[in-house]
Amino acid sequence: MSRTVLVFTEQKDGRLRHVTYESLTAACRVAEGGEVVAVLFGSRQSEQVEEVGKYGASRVYVVSHDDLHQYTPDAYKQAMLQIIGEVDPDAIIMGHTAIGKDVAPRVAARLGLGLITDCTDVCTDSGEVIGVRPIYAGKAFQKKKFIGKKSFVTIRANNIELQENAQTPAVIPFDVTIKDVRSVVRKVIRRSASGVDLSEANVIVSGGRGVKSAEGFRPLQELADVLGGAVGASRGACDAGYCDYALQIGQTGKVVTPELYIACGISGAIQHLAGMSRSKIVVAINKDPEAPIFQVADYGIVGDLFQVVPKLTEAFKRALEEK
Amino acid sequence: MKIWVCIKQTFDTEEKIVIENGKVDEKDAEFIINPYDEYAIEEALQLRDELGGEVTVITVGPDRAENALRTALAMGADKAALIQDPSLVGDECVLARMLAEAIRREGFDLILGGNFAVDSGSGQVAIRLAEELDIPHIGSVTGLNVNGRQAIAKRDAEGDTEAVESTLPVLITAQQGLNEPRYPSLPGIMRAKRKPLERLSAQDLGLSDSLKTKTLIIEEYLPPEKEAGKILEGDLDQQVQELVEALCGKGLSFN
Amino acid sequence: MALKNKAVGAHFLIEETEKSSLVTPEDFSDEQRMFAETTRSFIEKEVVPKDEAIESLDYGLTVNLIRKAGELGLVAADVPEAYGGLGADKVSSTLITESLAKGSSFSLSVSAHSGIGTLPIVFFGNDAQKKKYLPDLASGTKIAAYCLTEPSSGSDALSAKTTAKRSKDGKYYILNGEKQFITNAGFADIFIVYAKIEGKDFTTFIVERTMEGVSLGPEEKKMGIKGSSTRPVILENVKVPAGNLLGEAGKGHVIAFNILNIGRFKLAAGVLGSAKEAIRLSATFANERTQFKKLISSFPLIRRKLADMNVRTYTLESMVYRTSGLIDGALKDLDYSSSDIGWQSAKGIAEYAIECSINKVFGSETLDFVADEGLQIHGGYGFTKDYKIERIYRDSRINRIFEGTNEINRLVVMSTLQKKAVKGELPLLEKANTLKDEIEDLLENRPTDGFLKQETYLVSAAKKLFLLVLGLAYRKYGLNLQKEQQLLSHLSDLVIQIYAMESVLLRTMKRLEKLGSEKAENGLDMMRLAIFEGFDKTESLVKEALAHLEEGEALIRRLASVQKIAYRLPIDAIRLKGRIGMRVAEASRYIV
């Protein structure tokens, strides 16, 4: 059964986010020979049109409106509803991002649609669209399907392997009408840290109680900077006041799935494991060879993180320069 | 101020997950209030104490969910309502409609909920509820002030903080960092017994026919166990070198 | 029978107890569970993270945390509502005490404050004293300490040397003396002090820290509970207003012994919580530690240890909540509007003085056992301060000493029993007279097989054996029996074993009825082990006592009769412990 699949893309700092490519890859699968339609919010950028074409979009709606520069649920909802009305897709896909998770439920509610959020995989089986999603913070998984013809999913970043499917998309400028925006963003304070989001970072260097102080996070930040990653922390480190709770990874903090997770001085309490054990590769550095973190690690170094981490930073620097 | 808090009773986050017949087994589990909903309750109580009014906690769930409501009452909420889902398989669409109907009947100025529930992790019900009631929402909030009919919130957008303004009525979803939830005090627990707790069915809400689930769970399962890793050996420089080579060989994308 | 309608302590020795009358953890109300949940959350989130600082004896921190606990109502359970407390039932207050236990030193400070520190005023204060002191004590804004022990009077508490001299105008008492090993001394505001008026009338006073002449000696360098303050309190010409005399002059011993009863019982509730924590730590460790390429929790000998720890803790839990239910039963019909309600309540609790001592002895010895085996599971790590089991092991040791040593408590069990018999409250001697018939009855109706029949039989048999030994001991020593401490200790141990076995039997049967055989299975396994091991101890105590009481032909006859009564088919303890140990390892904590 071929489908028309609508993908809402997302940009950050003028670049398409990785999850957008994942959404397009998933869309091609779900389309089953049908058409993938992408929506670009913001100014017309030929480079971006080309990018979404590379991953399978054959039509691109370019939507430009002053009220869409900064996300608000009211403005985005209205724009999305108008495009959905225009395209009449069989399936809608977007990233489970700060925007996607915030607006998708509103749009779904308005249209009376089912929505499967936070999918780590999207596939089809016997003519049905199926979303695979972690539940209980990744301790288990759930397969869900839709009742009714239309499907709507949001997908979690860094889970779907990208697949190119080059198209030369038709570009369609599309005007939307936006009125009565009831919530207004007055100010945006960018996160002060080096700017890589924990939830979207490819690499996370994370510290636990073993880091011993706020100052002790510095070598971790240096390693993260070299790898273009972000710094995270265990609950132990947050509770001890070494860092902000915003960095907490675990059952009650953020759940992350980076490609590389480097746990420094983290013992690996079950609470923490729930937040990071789905990382593709886990490296553990800990003085205690019995620390449970080693049981989920792909590579372990038994040793003092204050010796190991700086050496690792230097070695990566050299390796990446050679590349 | 009429403040509502939508809560969910969830698995204790410490619990081990057991799968039975393609479903998470809840038989012997301990249940708690979803931790994000605790932030919502705390915020509601603080706002009520500051601005006056009353706090009603509401949930959809089986009989055991009454314990979660009692806990919220013990924390200081004034009233509670338990909606019994007739089908017990309703998805977020169904839940939001039931909540919307119950809340609409009583009136509302402010509605709070958790950012998402730690069990299903869907994060939909509260936001759908805002749409059902046709009011604005501010999601993932880490700070909230209410001045007259205006709400000013700090919203966590993947690490950035947005200062968002909206008029009441508004729905807020609570993110970690919003506050430090109180414990139900022992005198509070004793008082909770005497506070009103209303039970509602879908029929009471006049909804039984219009509640159709839009999604279905096919199965639930445990993730495959990871294979044992490798503890590196040799002197530290060798270990570091081996690790970097191994990682660079994996085709990871470092930017 | 009339006894059944009246709360009578030690009643269990001569009568069968109806299982429905027993309070068990399975009977907790939602409200009681919530009390426990708040207590546990508070300890987990506020106290445990500050463990290290508390252990280094940071007074300010402990005081602060007691205040916070006070705000939540955690120190107010036993204070009547009229004076700012919760006026909660004893099952609730026991559950709160148990749930505090994970805070080790901190929970000791709290219990010393809310238990032996505050309760003298709750029970024996007049209205003015209650109004003045209880609201602050119930909210934790003021902290209390209990001053009974002196350098030369420990177990012999009534030999205190502290004196109180009445001033000429009768407005004051002048106190002089030194109290020792005073928990909370370093930061307490209120001291309950025992002194002898004119050197003879043992009397209780409420002394405030700010009164002139109150000073403190240095902190003791203790083996355990290092985060609690233990200092001498020195009284030098302290002018205590006459209105601060607690109860009546010359009635200090009544207050002291009543407060000890409650203190003993609360101690048992506390060690129950600690034992569960030790099991959790040990099972968790066993699930993390790998040796011979396997988790050590998979080894049968480790599982056996976990099983033994869990079974004893289950037994203790059954005893503690049964006792709290008995005490509630004694308190529920009192007239709470009467002015001497405090005295009446104390009397109600004193009715169960024997049960309180039983709990104290069995509880403290259980925790010592559990901590020791738990440390053993940890191996070398358990011997280091990096692992909390090391501290539980050290902290545990004091429990066999304070609130009356276990030796004193064993003697208390028998002396109290004797008093009850003499007063006619407990027809022990009558029972001893009809014992022969009863034993014949018992043997005649002895079950050959059947589910739980043997266990039920053994508990009844243990009671008969106790009465047999008691009768013979009286025949030989008469009133001089009170000098035969070894024999008394044996008799007391029989009483303790009977209470333990019966509590675990009745609770398990009640669970079975309530939950069905599948969910009750672990409890059933544990109950069978507890009863068979308890009966083994019973039999050996009886034999040793008989060998002392009889000789020659008579001894041989007696032993044959004991043999006959005590005959039982052994159970497969190895299999049962393997099963229980596996369940504890899987759950990583104490499980029923």
Catalytic residues of C: 403
Contact residues on chain B for C34, CB-CB shorter than 8 A: 70-71, 74, 184, 189, 192
Asked if the model's pLDDT at residue C464 lies above 50, the reply is: yes
Give the mean pLDDT of A111-131: 94
Residue listed under structure tokens 């004896």:
C57
Nearest to C86 among B67, B183, B187 (CB): B187
Nearest to C288 among A239, A240, A290 (CB): A290
Residue in B with minimal Cα distance to C31: B189
* Residue with the larger pLDDT of the pair C3 and C362: C362
Q: Domain limits at A85?
A: 4-174
User: What does the block give as tokens for C577?
Assistant: 């412990």
Binding-face residues of B in 129-188 toward A, CB within 8 A: 130-132, 135-140, 156-167, 170, 176-177
Long-range contact pairs involving C108-111 (C-beta distance under 8 Å, separation at least 24): C108/C183, C108/C225, C108/C228, C108/C270, C109/C62, C109/C66, C109/C183, C109/C184, C109/C227, C109/C228, C109/C229, C110/C66, C110/C69, C110/C74, C110/C75, C111/C266, C111/C267, C111/C270
Mutating which of A242, A245, A270, A290 best tests the C interface, going by the most C Cβ atoms within 10 A? A290
Domain annotation covers residue A186: no
Domain CATH code at residue A102: 3.40.50.620
CB pair distance less than 8 Å for B193 and C31: yes
**According to the model, what pLDDT value does residue C488 have?**
97
Q: Is C380 an interface residue toward A (CB < 8 Å)?
A: no
Separation of alpha carbons B32 and B8, rounded Å: 9
**According to the model, what pLDDT value does residue C431 have?**
84
**According to the model, what pLDDT value does residue C4 have?**
45
Closest Cα in chain B, distance from residue A291 (Å)? 12
CB pair distance less than 8 Å for B186 and C42: no
CB pair distance less than 8 Å for B186 and C88: yes
Domain annotation covers residue A192: no
Give the mean pLDDT of C538-544: 97
Q: Is A48 an interface residue toward B (CB < 8 Å)?
A: no
Residue in A with minimal Cα distance to C50: A240
Q: pLDDT per residue over B202-245, tens digit each? A: 888 888 766 788 999 999 999 877 666 788 998 999 999 999 88
CB pair distance less than 8 Å for C72 and B186: yes
Asked if the model's pLDDT at residue C333 lies above 60, the reply is: yes
- 3-state SS, A234-277, equals CHHHHHCCCCCHHHEECCCCECCCCCEEEEECCCCCHHHHHHHC
Give the mean pLDDT of A131-141: 89
**According to the model, what pLDDT value does residue C571 have?**
92
CB pair distance less than 8 Å for B229 and A294: yes
Asked if the model's pLDDT at residue B254 lies above 70, the reply is: no
Confidence band of B13 (pLDDT split at 50, 70, 90): low
**According to the model, what pLDDT value does residue A18 have?**
86
Nearest to B184 among C38, C76, C86 (CB): C38
Give the mean pLDDT of B183-199: 95
Q: Is C459 an interface residue toward B (CB < 8 Å)?
A: no
Domain CATH code at residue A230: 3.40.50.1220
Domain annotation covers residue A312: yes
Separation of alpha carbons A187 and A175, rounded Å: 26
Q: pLDDT per residue over A58-109, tens digit each? A: 999 999 999 998 999 999 999 999 999 999 999 999 999 999 999 999 999 9
Closest Cα in chain C, distance from residue A308 (Å)? 23
CATH number of B2-200: 3.40.50.620
Domain annotation covers residue A183: no
**According to the model, what pLDDT value does residue A277 have?**
80
Domains of chain C by start residue, with CATH: 2-142 (1.10.540.10), 146-246 (2.40.110.10), 252-406 (1.20.140.10), 415-587 (1.20.140.10)
- Measured in degrees and rounded to the nearest 5, phi and psi for residue A314 equal -60, -45
**According to the model, what pLDDT value does residue C5 have?**
43
Domain annotation covers residue A189: no
DSSP C497-527: HHHHHHHHHHHHHHHHHHHHHHHTHHHHHHH
Which contiguous run of DSSP H or E holds residue A91? strand A91-95
Cis peptide before B169 (omega within 30 of 0): yes
Q: How many CB pairs under 8 A join A and B?
A: 259
**According to the model, what pLDDT value does residue B253 have?**
55
Domain annotation covers residue A159: yes
Chains contacting A (3+ CB pairs below 8 angstroms): B, C
Asked if the model's pLDDT at residue A229 lies above 50, the reply is: yes
Domain annotation covers residue A34: yes
Q: pLDDT per residue over A179-203, tens digit each? A: 999 999 999 987 655 567 787 788 9
Closest Cα in chain A, distance from residue C288 (Å)? 7
Domain end call among A174, A209, A241: A174
Closest Cα in chain C, distance from residue A205 (Å)? 24
Q: Is A282 an interface residue toward B (CB < 8 Å)?
A: yes
Binding-face residues of B in 93-132 toward A, CB within 8 A: 93, 96, 118-125, 127-128, 130-132
**According to the model, what pLDDT value does residue A61 have?**
95
Asked if the model's pLDDT at residue A235 lies above 70, the reply is: yes
The type of residue at B151 is A
- Cβ neighbors of C72 (< 8 A, separation 6 or more) are B183, B185, B186, C38, C42
Separation of alpha carbons C361 and A225, rounded Å: 61
User: What does the block give as tokens for C543?
Assistant: 């034999």
Closest Cα in chain A, distance from residue B131 (Å)? 6
Per cent of chain A over pLDDT 70 is: 96
Q: pLDDT per residue over C524-539, tens digit each? A: 999 999 999 999 999 9
**According to the model, what pLDDT value does residue C1 have?**
35
Q: How many CB pairs under 8 A join A and C?
A: 6
Give the mean pLDDT of C249-277: 95
Nearest to B220 among A110, A141, A191 (CB): A141
* Residue with the larger pLDDT of the pair C19 and C309: C309
Q: Based on the domain organization, do A105 and A229 belong to the same domain?
A: no
Q: What does pLDDT average to over chain C?
A: 93
Domain positions in chain B: 2-200
Separation of alpha carbons B219 and A142, rounded Å: 6
ipTM: 0.89
Give the mean pLDDT of B82-89: 73
Q: Where are the beta strands (DSSP E) in C131-200?
A: 144-147, 163-166, 172-183, 190-197
Total domains in chain A come to: 2
Q: Where are the beta strands (DSSP E) in C33-171?
A: 144-147, 163-166
Q: Is B246 an interface residue toward A (CB < 8 Å)?
A: yes
Contact residues on chain B for C49, CB-CB shorter than 8 A: none
Confidence band of C2 (pLDDT split at 50, 70, 90): very low
Separation of alpha carbons C248 and B206, rounded Å: 68
**According to the model, what pLDDT value does residue A272 have?**
84
Q: pLDDT per residue over C180-233, tens digit each? A: 999 999 999 999 999 999 889 999 999 999 999 999 999 999 999 999 999 999
Q: Based on the domain organization, do A12 and A95 belong to the same domain?
A: yes
CB pair distance less than 8 Å for B183 and C72: yes
Which contiguous run of DSSP H or E holds residue C202? strand C201-208
Q: pLDDT per residue over B159-173, tens digit each? A: 789 999 999 999 999
Contact residues on chain B for C139, CB-CB shorter than 8 A: none
Beta carbons of C250 and C129 less than 8 angstroms apart: no
**According to the model, what pLDDT value does residue C58 have?**
92
Contact residues on chain B for A295, CB-CB shorter than 8 A: 228-229
Chains contacting C (3+ CB pairs below 8 angstroms): A, B
CB pair distance less than 8 Å for B186 and C73: yes
DSSP C342: H
Per cent of chain C over pLDDT 90 is: 80
Confidence band of B255 (pLDDT split at 50, 70, 90): very low
CB pair distance less than 8 Å for A294 and B123: no
Q: Is C288 an interface residue toward A (CB < 8 Å)?
A: yes
Asked if the model's pLDDT at residue C139 lies above 50, the reply is: yes
Q: Based on the domain organization, do A218 and A104 belong to the same domain?
A: no
Contact residues on chain B for C31, CB-CB shorter than 8 A: 189-190, 192-193
Confidence band of C444 (pLDDT split at 50, 70, 90): confident
Q: Based on the domain organization, do A51 and A135 belong to the same domain?
A: yes
Asked if the model's pLDDT at residue C48 lies above 80, the reply is: yes
Domain annotation covers residue A181: no
Confidence band of A274 (pLDDT split at 50, 70, 90): confident
Return the SS3 of B230. Answer: strand
Asked if the model's pLDDT at residue C251 lies above 80, the reply is: yes
Closest Cα in chain C, distance from residue B94 (Å)? 30
Asked if the model's pLDDT at residue B55 lies above 60, the reply is: yes
Contact residues on chain C for A240, CB-CB shorter than 8 A: 49
Q: Is A290 an interface residue toward C (CB < 8 Å)?
A: yes
Contact residues on chain B for A185, CB-CB shorter than 8 A: 162-164
Q: Based on the domain organization, do A121 and A245 belong to the same domain?
A: no
Separation of alpha carbons B132 and B200, rounded Å: 19
